[in-house]
Chains A and B, each alone.
Chain A
Amino acid sequence: DAGVTQSPTHLIKTRGQQVTLRCSPISGHKSVSWYQQVLGQGPQFIFQYYEKEERGRGNFPDRFSARQFPNYSSELNVNALLLGDSALYLCASSFTQGFAEAFFGQGTRLTVV
């Protein structure tokens, strides 16, 4: 079985641009969560979706948005990129709602220049 897959693996964007990151959960998993990990820090929770509905949101500005599709894959959108948005963006999936035993993807490394 494939694990959590994220695309793209690396991305370079210019300040002010918009970016869309994609995540495919493990087959059968209905929950997807997004995290931002800045170098030297632990991941920060951004969103959680379960059954296509937002079930949790971290302390991030409205420039960050996400959605979950009927096949449980998910997209994270970030508008009006800032230099400080440069980070590793991690997606995790789990079978149930909540954060128990989540499986992480390899992440998307976003660099904003």
Chain B
Amino acid sequence: EDKVVQSPLSLVVHEGDTVTLNCSYEVTNFRSLLWYKQEKKAPTFLFMLTSSGIEKKSGRLSSILDKKELFSILNITATQTGDSAIYLCAVVWNNDMRFGAGTRLTVKP
């Protein structure tokens, strides 16, 4: 069965720490992997990854995909309290899309 698994499910860090969030998947006919940040209701788009080994960066956030080992990581450096949110990974294949359960990140001052 196709599935997307995120780890850890929750994480508590202090401001300034670096965090790594994981997303592994098992799907047929993989097309892309997306990362979203969900603070209240509407998830906001972070990255779309389609090729292995190419790092995408946006400020303190970066992400990379490994299509051989079927996983992606999202790194956040120098975390701030505003990074507190649920981070969702989603995998697209054919005309379907599946989200993981998310990682709840809490950044303490």
Seen from chain A, the residues whose Cβ lies within 8 Å of a Cβ on chain B are 4, 33, 35, 40-45, 48, 55-58, 88, 90, 98-107
Contacts and interface: CB of A to CB of B under 8 A. Distances in A.
B44 interface: yes
A42 B44 contact: no
B87 to A, nearest CB: 10
Contact of B43 (A40, A56, A104): A104
Highest count of chain B CB atoms <10 Å: which of A42, A101, A106? A42
A107 B40 CA distance: 10
Contact of B95 (A40, A43, A55): A55
Given A42-B88, A43-B88, A100-B48, A105 B98 contact: no
Q: Secondary structure at chain B's binding surface: helix, strand, loop or mixed? A: strand
A54 to B, nearest CB: 9
Interface string B66-95: 000000000000000000000010101011
List the 6 shortest-distance A-B pairs measured between CB atoms, nearest first. Answer: A42-B99, A56-B95, A104-B42, A45-B97, A107-B41, A106-B41
B90 A99 contact: yes
B101 interface: yes
B95 A88 contact: no
A37 B41 CA distance: 10
B32 interface: yes
5 contacts: A42-B99, A56-B96, A57-B96, A106-B42, A107-B42
Interface residues of B, number: 25
B42 A43 contact: no
Nearest to B36: A104
A43 B43 contact: yes
B88 to A, nearest CB: 5
A90 B41 contact: yes
Nearest to A107: B41
A45 B96 contact: yes
Contacts of A44: 98-99
Contact of A99 (B44, B88, B92): B92
